[in-house]
Amino acid sequence: MTASTLVGIQSMPGLVILYASIVKKKWAVNSAFMALYAFAAVLICWVLVCYRMAFGDRLLPFWGKGAPALGQTFLIVQARVPESKHRSPTGRYETTEPFYPMASLVYFQFTFAAITMILLAGSVLGRMNIKAWMAFVPLWLIFSYTVGAFSLWGGGFLYHWGVIDYSGGYVIHLSSGIAGLTAAYWVGPRLKSDRERFPPNNVLLMLAGAGLLWMGWSGFNGGAPYAANIDSSIAILNTNICAATSLLVWTSLDVIFFGKPSVIGAVQGMMTGLVCITPGAGLVQSWAAIVMGILSGSIPWVSMMILHKKSSMLQKVDDTLGVFHTHAVAGLLGGLLTGLLAEPALCRLILPIETRGAFYGGNGGVQFMKQLVAALFVIVWNVVSTTIILLAIRLFIPLRMPDEQLVIGDDAVHGEEAYALWGDGEKYDPTRHGWNMSLYSEQTAPPPFVNGARGVTINL
């Protein structure tokens, strides 16, 4: 329950705050609302049908049987993961039975499903029709997320094959990054003016959201063993080591190539470090977490700052927050590095079968190939499923807002704006508030309500 709360805080309010502040001012409300809506909608879909599609009895090698997770008889029994009784290739039933009821597990796994959906939203901020988003959330959860979760975590074919995804490098980050890029393609780009200039409206508030995301990751990776045990402790330490290393490397590259450190860049570096360590957080040694941090702070930086600008395809697709780079690239990198660096003794603490990374000899090379094949499956499934879902929605609802709404932003979409321009929440109207603006020429008139630094308003 503690880990669940920490992961939930990453989304609510973490990503809600982060999205509201990292976008242009006119999109603050819309961006926050997309995250808020997804969090609520995913929970209801999760308990109605999706939890058991992801963790229930086997229907197909990649999908569980959907059913409600609402009944007392189901929720009060001891948790079991996976719930499926399908035998593995070793002939054993490989399950974990933590010492708490199924209700705790249902909520814990919900928080992962919710954050995946919200991360995906980062690719389509600033132009996706909110009604299309409201339809997309439950459909993508059902037809995309549950497939990855069951295949890798819930007793599906990749789980029994021995693919490692400790806490969601593939299920969450690779999925959200690939699906986000695909959605950005089908939804279409922002206005040209927004693509060319899209400054954050509140950098300090953005850092507050990023801080909640970082600290919440202790529940994200620390909760993955389903207990507060040795592996959980290692995972939390490695998570923070990798994130800090990645942030420092990304910032250093910004200074070397652009002459100054970027706060947004530091947040992106933090994010890629957290994502990269996720598939192997409790399975690699802490020196390996530093190695993963160095690579996660540099390879996604190169893909975002250099390769993106040279790729006509990536230039064409308007991925608003660069989710492809910070989550798909970093998640894939982490999954492959786990196939190289997974330490056998740490693997024995949590994994049901003998596992080791390629650097530790034995069958480690086979493990790396398994990681690669699993990544390809996740990529292909998300491209295909996301495409089909959006094309189906497009038959009934436009995916992109009309240009007249895109010009105005929040006020046109929601009838609300993030920041009041007058003391009582009204927009300033000089005729109503008694200012004779004719005293000033258009060129010389000072902003009458600004005291010192721009944006500090005085209610006169």
Helix ranges, 317-363 (H): 323, 330-341, 344-348
Considering Cα of 445, then 451, then 456, then 460, what sign does the dihedral take?
Answer: negative
What's the CA gap between 447 and 427, in Å, rounded? 14
Q: What angle do CA 287, 289, 293 make, to 5 degrees?
A: 120
pLDDT for res 435: 44
> Is the separation of the CB atoms in 152 and 163 below 8 Å?
yes
What's the CA gap between 336 and 350, in Å, rounded? 19
> Is the separation of the CB atoms in 64 and 54 below 8 Å?
yes
Residue 22 tokens, joined: 């990292």
CA-wise closest residue to 287 among 359, 222, 217, 368? 359
Q: Which of 120-134, 271-285, 326-340, 346-360 has the lowest mean pLDDT?
A: 346-360
pLDDT band at 79 (very low <50, low <70, confident <90, very high): confident
Residue type, 52: R
Per-residue pLDDT of 231-281, as tens digits, reads 999 999 999 999 999 999 999 999 999 999 999 999 999 999 999 999 999
What's the CA gap between 226 and 97, in Å, rounded? 9
Per-residue pLDDT of 204-221, as tens digits, reads 999 999 999 999 999 999
> Is the separation of the CB atoms in 213 and 417 below 8 Å?
no
What's the CA gap between 418 and 32, in Å, rounded? 10
pLDDT for res 313: 86
What's the CA gap between 410 and 352, in Å, rounded? 50
CB count, 10 Å around CB of 75? 17
Per-residue pLDDT of 371-429, as tens digits, reads 999 999 999 999 999 999 999 999 999 999 999 999 999 999 999 998 876 555 555 45
Residue 272 tokens, joined: 């890629």
Per-residue pLDDT of 95-124, as tens digits, reads 788 889 999 999 999 999 999 999 999 999
Per-residue pLDDT of 187-208, as tens digits, reads 999 999 999 889 999 999 999 9
CA-wise closest residue to 167 among 84, 280, 62? 280
Q: What is the mean pLDDT of the chain?
A: 89
CB count, 10 Å around CB of 426? 11
pTM above 0.75, yes or no: yes
pLDDT band at 6 (very low <50, low <70, confident <90, very high): very high
pLDDT for res 439: 41
> Is the separation of the CB atoms in 213 and 219 below 8 Å?
no
pLDDT for 457 beyond 60: no
CA distances 399 to 47, 387, 396, Å, are 27, 12, 9
> Is the separation of the CB atoms in 2 and 219 below 8 Å?
yes
Give the bridge partners for 450, in sequence order: 457
CA distances 137 to 66, 146, 386, 429, Å, are 17, 12, 11, 40
At 145 the three-state DSSP class reads helix
> Is the separation of the CB atoms in 410 and 27 below 8 Å?
yes
pLDDT for 441 beyond 80: no
pLDDT band at 81 (very low <50, low <70, confident <90, very high): confident
> Is the separation of the CB atoms in 36 and 12 below 8 Å?
yes
pLDDT for res 267: 96
The number of helices, as runs of H, and strands, as runs of E, in the chain is 23, 2
Report cis status (omega within 30 of 0) of the bond before 279. Answer: no
Per-residue pLDDT of 281-297, as tens digits, reads 999 999 999 999 999 99
Q: What is the 3-state secondary structure of 176-190?
A: HHHHHHHHHHHHCCC
Residue type, 104: S
The Cβ-side half-sphere exposure at 100, using a 13 Å CA radius, reads 11
Residue 122 tokens, joined: 């980062």
> Is the separation of the CB atoms in 17 and 205 below 8 Å?
yes
Q: How far from each other are the two terminal CA atoms of the chain, in whole angstroms? A: 49
